[in-house]
Structure 1
């Protein structure tokens, strides 16, 4: 049970002990079987919903699942209904109305908030149907927690974007290369509702990696000489339940391990390995994003760029043109492990944003398949638009 739910125990228990039909879904509190009058003054039952992502009540708004409630004179409850439209809160919660009844001072507890709304909605129904009561005494058994995250994303619930987050739910994601850029990609992906995250890298986590990866690591941990994927799996499994590490480089002998993935991020600089991986992902019809960083020394300054290239089932040709280099950049300054964590993070952010656009999380109006950011002129160039 999350910390928020623990803080809500008193309110929830009070509601249940009073006989209300209580259900918790994530950070939403639902009260079922709330009686109300319809336009014909017939009795109907609805569900009252409140966001409870904060330990104390900070929001006077509530939601309602059902038809619009009416007063005893047959008029709709305009004094209560703020808007009437479908609102997907996620977790299977689709509401029909938003209520607004703001007291002064604010509701002291969620028990006070929910019972106030119930009394307002139910009063007209009880005028014609005295036996109508939201206190059904029915107990709704809590469902087993099935979130891939080990604790709740309360920011998403507060912003009520769980339905948007669900667009990534259940995906099997691969990350090939867990150096600077790949580790930042993992940091972002691990904070989503994807089903499983597979890590592929045969390199060890050493001192230079500590300067190109998110967070901080002790010298003692570095000295353990773990594989990158094992170290990162250990760290991020504190947040996401399903992270699987493969401490190996991918080649012709093991590339088939990618066959069950839904999407793959590639953050390696070996061109020969990229050719093998690209061809296999195309054969498997798996979409992927390839990341690239190029850094050059110019006097006592660095110049360079980041690149983000998306390949989908219907758009593959551009990756074999000039967008992706298949050279092995041994002479590039970047290959000497120059410390550029801000570019690694930026490259990862561009990749994550494009990935989320692909799945409809973010709006996409340009539909570019390739983009590059040039450091010295601070400019983003989009290429290969599909619209």
Structure 2
């Protein structure tokens, strides 16, 4: 299990220092309390959201110029819909029980963003400039600091693949799963390769055989000659391979038979 570390991304740190209400959840950047005008020209508060790829202290570039919007349809100070900013209605669940309402698409001078700071400030400016016509004090820089969410993950590094394509809420459904794979020779090893990249809590491998040259040609990846010469148990070979990516892989270096098949019931009952 890995624990989400304190975010050191320069853009995020700068946003927090300037008072933006920043929250990081499930590889998504959330910016709360963004003032905007609704259809009745009332000042409301929205949340802006986009996938967030973190890489420690290294600045990372947003995957695109779009953002999600949680709130009512935004309008300008004249009461006109901000259709130049809102691409479409998009009522979807991004993760957990967090829902959004609209999909935004707007580039400054047609240029893409090179960092998250510029992206957030751009969208904040679009909305707050209209809100200030009604309330001169409207500002998304509230100074509110959200507590660090140390999300426990089975992965050794963030699953940005799911957030990148918007399927985090779907993959989350697998988090409490426990799966047993009986035999990790050919087919079993490919099933393992697929499951290892999902957030299932536990993967139990059952196989008594050693990993030999013919197995290397039937399994994903590429075993080295040195690895083959060590004649590792199949279950240990694969556990070591996937431990670089995730935890929760358990080995059982024996075959299942009438005497121990009940172990599968124990796994499924957890």
Q: After TM superposition, give the deviation of residue 58 of structure 1 in Å.
A: 4.6
Match of 1:186 in 2: 192
- Higher mean alpha-carbon deviation, 81-90 vs 54-63, is at 54-63
Output aligned runs, 1:57-136, within 5 Å.
57-103=62-108, 104-136=110-142
- Structure ID, larger Rg: 1
Provide the rounded CA distance (Å) in 1 between the counterparts of 2:255 and 2:114.
57
Task: Compute the TM-score of the two structures, normalised by the length of structure 1.
Answer: 0.62
Match of 1:167 in 2: 173
Q: 1:227 aligns with which of 209, 230, 233?
A: 233
Q: Rate the CA distance shift 1:233–1:108 in 2: closer, same or farther, 3 A.
A: closer
Match of 1:10 in 2: 10
- Runs of 4+ aligned residues of structure 1 deviating over 6 Å after TM superposition are none
Output aligned runs, 1:18-37, within 5 Å.
18-37=18-37
Match of 2:57 in 1: none
Output aligned runs, 1:1-387, within 5 Å.
9-53=9-53, 55-103=60-108, 104-262=110-268
Provide the rounded CA distance (Å) in 2 between the counterparts of 1:20 and 1:106.
21
- Asked whether the 8 Å contact 1:169–1:194 carries over to 2, the reply is yes
Task: Compute the TM-score of the two structures, normalised by the length of structure 2.
Answer: 0.87
- Asked whether the 8 Å contact 1:34–1:133 carries over to 2, the reply is yes
What's the secondary structure of 1:259's corresponding residue? Answer: helix
The answer for unaligned runs of 5 or more in structure 1 is 263-283, 285-387
After superposition, give the CA deviation of every residue in 1:147-190 in whole Å (9 maximum; x if it has no partner): 22212233332222222323333211110011111111111110
Provide the rounded CA distance (Å) in 1 between the counterparts of 2:62 and 2:220.
35
More relative contact order, 1 or 2 (CA 8 Å, 6+ apart):
2
Provide the rounded CA distance (Å) in 2 between the counterparts of 1:82 and 1:214.
41
The answer for unaligned runs of 5 or more in structure 2 is 55-59
Provide the rounded CA distance (Å) in 2 between the counterparts of 1:82 and 1:15.
25
Q: Rate the CA distance shift 1:97–1:216 in 2: closer, same or farther, 3 A.
A: same
- Asked whether the 8 Å contact 1:16–1:22 carries over to 2, the reply is yes
Q: After TM superposition, give the deviation of residue 91 of structure 1 in Å.
A: 4.7
Provide the rounded CA distance (Å) in 2 between the counterparts of 1:107 and 1:184.
38
Q: Rate the CA distance shift 1:70–1:213 in 2: closer, same or farther, 3 A.
A: same
Alignment RMSD:
2.3
Q: After TM superposition, give the deviation of residue 260 of structure 1 in Å.
A: 4.0
Matched positions, count: 260
